[in-house]
Structure 1
């Protein structure tokens, strides 16, 4: 057995001996292609098959690097292995995330140390020797130096704080001769930043797939900040107060934000991600038609050391829709109580979330009153209700001026107000959304140097 054959054998043995980090073999497509490449080479398959397997693996690594968008540590393969280790949700990383290294059972620590030593073998695989071996038999193999010289991004994705900490531990491991000696550093990373999807993302959506519902991370959630929302200070402060209590581990309530369209209900909730994300708040958006999956969603969130808001936007039900029963069971009424780390925040244009007909009151049946109360009880199960009403004219103009000032628009106040009132008249609506749309339109005109449009607006008024 020559050196390259011995290297392949040792690497295959290391990969197949993983226990705690075994999901890296089972679930990652690039690792699967890597192991397939080694298998084809060790079995001395025809050289075209070896070359094809190698380039398929290399192509996937380059594609992954393009998508990843974070600074590269080591070569593409080394960076990929490090990313997998830091993101993996396994018994060791999950326990570190929740309780820290010092409270974990020693046998689990020893298994993790053993796996890290094995993963180090994969990380250090000598691709220069490997490609030289193949090139002896074929001139069609790409030299691995192409991978060594590729550059990663110089900036960090969102959330930046997580990726900055991740970069530090990646550099530490990449330069370490023995990863099992870095077990405390890795455990500290898991404890401080978390592991898996809830560390990498602050916002999620519940998506329907062929295999059922699945939490999908949102890399770049809506960038709206609370400071960008002009007006409704009392309402925002109430939402902030309840959410802050929740994040800090104190008593807090499910919330219903209802009122007129365009008043900032949804934006207020979405802005909470940026306000409390670094403190451990995570948000999961669930559409009305997926409320049937609420119990599965809550089960996935229950044992994680984060605070979760399940966000249901534009919530209302027609007479024939029964999904509200699943929401009622989570809010209050199920034998199994909702976990203390999960709250539900919903928005609606209706105070009573289920459409009520006069026939419900007039229906001549013994249980008519019970039917009516069941419909009306849903909104009552939210502990806090915050009302957002359309602003009067003066408040609308205040919102316009506040947004314009935040955008750096320098127009004489009287002219700005006259233009805003004309916009409101044309769009038959007075709300924070209308004010924002007006300012965005004004910004577009100014950026396009359409000064005549601005002057014309003034003269027509």
Structure 2
């Protein structure tokens, strides 16, 4: 085991760090540093409490101290980590500075927690070497992210040199990114009065895939082509998915995120009342190495609403160019997004330049380079959707009985659509489980 005190001398770890400074849970780090360095034991139990509470909230198991250090490395955004995210290893002096910090991290990983128990006369630190969570459930992020951090901690603990440590961390940044944009794929916006908009992670997202959406192959193909060009760094257009309700517009966009997340695609959901924050949101993401889709669901405007004018300028038309790593994907039941009425024609007759009024209302939709129509399925298509979903769910009804029940259901629940079909299958599964419960 490396001589921890010899490596650090009389200095403090927090002061020794060059790149990895001022991170989350700094108090836990400082508490452990002081104990390992033979300093005051005043914060012994608060530090232990911090490690256990973090293990509980994050769902960590195994060596909690290693998991904690790996979390710092995975979550800390600095000049080195944000340069390596998605891109991988880079040249330059930044690597020398990173190696300085990684020598300290490697010593921290190598420190045996049982040594602390021997020095302090405790036995609790040994428990943290092979910790078992009561639930194994993370309250902060999903199991996939937790597992990645735990795997990183194991790999880093087994590295033999600072150079190998650097390569391991760099590979992680290349594959998964860093910070909230690396650890999460979907985000929402929270407006803070008097300050910039906060981009917050969405920890639980719907895990829908494009293959889950039955039919609409041409629509999905167009969406895939545009998105693949975008993630590949090629020219791509903003997308508007419009059409009938329940036909899979929103599901298609959610599926796109799940399909291309591992290629650096991220998604930020924003609502109409938050358009005032669009400039702030774009400013926060424009220099990152990820590709961001700003997602606007069920986008439409009443004729008295003027927010669409601001959106027009953000999409295209302002002095500042839209960053190459940002696109806008929107869904709407309206092709032209802004409500149009017969009275508009009468009002236009009284206007000197009536064509200008029409163009003003159409111009927002025209700023989406790709528009994709999702129409209501006919009866044959609806039955195909129902049959496919029933087969995936292993329902035992005959085709005749299935279609008969589906016809009754759609008449009572809003007509034929993919959403109606999904709700119908959910209803049948619920009935089936109820029967099984009664039999048991």
TM range (shorter): 0.7 to 0.9
**Alpha-carbon distance change, 44 to 408 in structure 1, aligned in 2, over 3 angstroms:** closer
Shifted more, 173-182 versus 245-254: the winner is 173-182
**Offset, 1:169:** 4.2
Count of equivalent residues: 430
**Alpha-carbon distance change, 71 to 11 in structure 1, aligned in 2, over 3 angstroms:** farther
Cα distance between partner residues in 1 of 2:10 and 2:435: 63
- The residue correspondences of 1:181-192 to structure 2 (distance < 5 A) are 182-192=165-175
Query: Equivalent residue for 1:18?
Result: 17
Cα distance between partner residues in 1 of 2:264 and 2:435: 44
CA contact (8 A) 1:390 1:430 kept: yes
1:342 to 326, 329, 332: 326
Does residue 1:64 correspond to 2:63, yes or no?
A: no
Cα distance between partner residues in 2 of 1:430 and 1:287: 28
CA contact (8 A) 1:98 1:304 kept: no
**Offset, 1:246:** 2.1
Does residue 1:255 correspond to 2:239, yes or no?
A: yes
**Alpha-carbon distance change, 82 to 367 in structure 1, aligned in 2, over 3 angstroms:** same
User: 5+ residue gaps in structure 2?
Assistant: none
**Offset, 1:257:** 0.8
CA contact (8 A) 2:296 2:329 kept: yes
CA contact (8 A) 1:15 1:118 kept: no
Does residue 1:148 correspond to 2:138, yes or no?
A: no
CA contact (8 A) 1:206 1:285 kept: yes
**Alpha-carbon distance change, 42 to 436 in structure 1, aligned in 2, over 3 angstroms:** closer
3-state DSSP of counterpart to 2:415: coil
Cα distance between partner residues in 2 of 1:316 and 1:120: 54
Cα distance between partner residues in 1 of 2:431 and 2:252: 28
CA contact (8 A) 1:235 1:388 kept: yes
**Offset, 1:129:** 5.3
Does residue 1:408 correspond to 2:394, yes or no?
A: yes
Shifted more, 36-45 versus 267-276: the winner is 36-45
Query: Equivalent residue for 1:119?
Result: 105
- The residue correspondences of 1:317-328 to structure 2 (distance < 5 A) are 317-328=301-312
Query: Equivalent residue for 1:269?
Result: 253
Query: Equivalent residue for 1:82?
Result: 70
**Alpha-carbon distance change, 234 to 100 in structure 1, aligned in 2, over 3 angstroms:** closer
Cα distance between partner residues in 2 of 1:388 and 1:315: 15
3-state DSSP of counterpart to 2:435: coil
**Offset, 1:397:** 2.0
CA contact (8 A) 2:65 2:129 kept: no
3-state DSSP of counterpart to 1:253: coil
**Offset, 1:249:** 2.8
Cα distance between partner residues in 1 of 2:70 and 2:437: 54
CA contact (8 A) 1:15 1:119 kept: no
**Offset, 1:71:** 5.3
Does residue 1:432 correspond to 2:418, yes or no?
A: yes
1:280 to 261, 264, 289: 264
**Offset, 1:155:** 10
CA contact (8 A) 1:173 1:179 kept: no
Cα distance between partner residues in 1 of 2:264 and 2:325: 11
**Offset, 1:306:** 2.4
Task: Give the TM-score of the pair, scaled to structure 2.
Answer: 0.85
3-state DSSP of counterpart to 1:435: helix
**Alpha-carbon distance change, 221 to 250 in structure 1, aligned in 2, over 3 angstroms:** same
Cα distance between partner residues in 1 of 2:414 and 2:66: 58
**Alpha-carbon distance change, 180 to 379 in structure 1, aligned in 2, over 3 angstroms:** same
**Alpha-carbon distance change, 149 to 276 in structure 1, aligned in 2, over 3 angstroms:** closer
